[in-house]
């Protein structure tokens, strides 16, 4: 959710589509709802999920049919670890808006509640729709994590490979996919593949989690020959 801080009695500056949504849902007292919604955005930016949840619940009382309110409340609850209620609010957002762009969070809530099949179905649905690639990637991370939790590491890797792990144009979400892929390869005893994944991450972002340290730990001893450059490049995400 996006909002600007206010001073005095100034109207909160919200995106026009959010303001229209709030106005349509309230049918009247849009200014007070908009003020609470904007304040909740500031609270979230400051890490105050409790304050944001309280403000957004007040918004919901007056604008229960607002997609923006239900989405923001769901995200705040998710960040606070209240996954069951977060899933309900994000599902309400989905029903009201008709959009699938928060399916990855609903799927993670389902996973947290032990509903693995539901999580898989939600992610499959967003892959068939026109959902931004970064959110699809987050959904696949949820599916891979759920499969790994069950001990099916090969199936977890298969989930990650439903997107291109060797893209020409690397995006931030690719590093997250590579990290989990590297972790899974290492758990399967596939050290060279794991090292390649962690090295690819460290090349782009040396500070990304502990990827550089994990790559170094997986490197063969100096007295052990490394794979030739050609074969290594085939495994390295481009």
Average pLDDT per consecutive 10 residues, the chain (238 residues; last block may be shorter): 52 87 90 95 97 98 97 98 98 98 98 95 95 96 97 97 94 97 98 97 97 96 56 42
Delimit the domains of the chain by residue range. Answer: 1-99, 164-238
CB 108 within 8 A of CB 130: no
Tokens of 174: 């690719």
Instruction: Return the CATH class of domain 1-99.
Output: mainly alpha
> What phi and psi, each to the nearest 5 degrees, are found at residue 110?
-65, -45
Burial class of residue 36 (count of CB atoms within 10 Å of its CB; 0-12, 13-18, 19+): buried
CB 41 within 8 A of CB 51: no
How many CB atoms sit inside 10 A of residue 143's CB? 26
- Ramachandran region, residue 14 (left: φ > 0; alpha: ψ -120 to 50; beta: rest): beta
Please report the pLDDT score of residue 26 as a whole number: 93
Please report the pLDDT score of residue 189 as a whole number: 97
Tokens of 71: 């989405």
pTM for the model stands at 0.87
Distance CA 11, CA 227 (A): 63
Q: What 8-state DSSP symbol labels residue 117?
A: H
Residue count (the chain): 238
Inter-CA distances, 59 with 4, 22, 71, 136, Å:
17, 9, 12, 29
């Amino acid at each position: 959710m996006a909002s600007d801080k206010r001073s005095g009695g100034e109207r909160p500056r919200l995106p026009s589509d959010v303001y229209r949504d709030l106005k349509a849902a309230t049918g009247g007292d849009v200014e007070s709802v908009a003020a609470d919604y904007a304040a909740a955005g500031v609270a979230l930016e400051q890490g105050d999920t409790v304050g944001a949840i309280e403000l957004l619940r007040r918004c919901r009382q007056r604008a229960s049919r607002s997609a923006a309110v239900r989405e923001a409340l769901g995200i705040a609850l998710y960040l606070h670890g209240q996954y069951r209620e977060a899933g309900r609010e994000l599902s309400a957002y989905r029903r009201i808006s008709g959009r699938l762009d928060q399916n990855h969070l609903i799927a993670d809530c389902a996973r947290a509640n032990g509903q693995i099949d539901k999580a898989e179905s939600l992610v499959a649905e967003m892959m068939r729709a026109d959902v931004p690639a970064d959110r699809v990637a987050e959904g696949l991370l949820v599916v891979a994590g759920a499969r790994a939790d069950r001990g099916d590491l090969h199936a977890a890797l298969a989930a990650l490979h439903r997107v291109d792990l060797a893209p020409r144009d690397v995006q931030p979400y690719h590093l997250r996919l590579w990290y989990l892929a590297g972790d899974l390869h290492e758990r399967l005893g596939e050290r060279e593949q794991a090292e390649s994944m962690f090295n690819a991450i460290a090349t782009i972002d040396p500070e990304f989690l502990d990827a550089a340290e994990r790559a170094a730990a997986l490197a063969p001893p100096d007295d052990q020959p490394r794979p030739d450059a050609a074969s290594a490049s085939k495994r390295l995400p481009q």
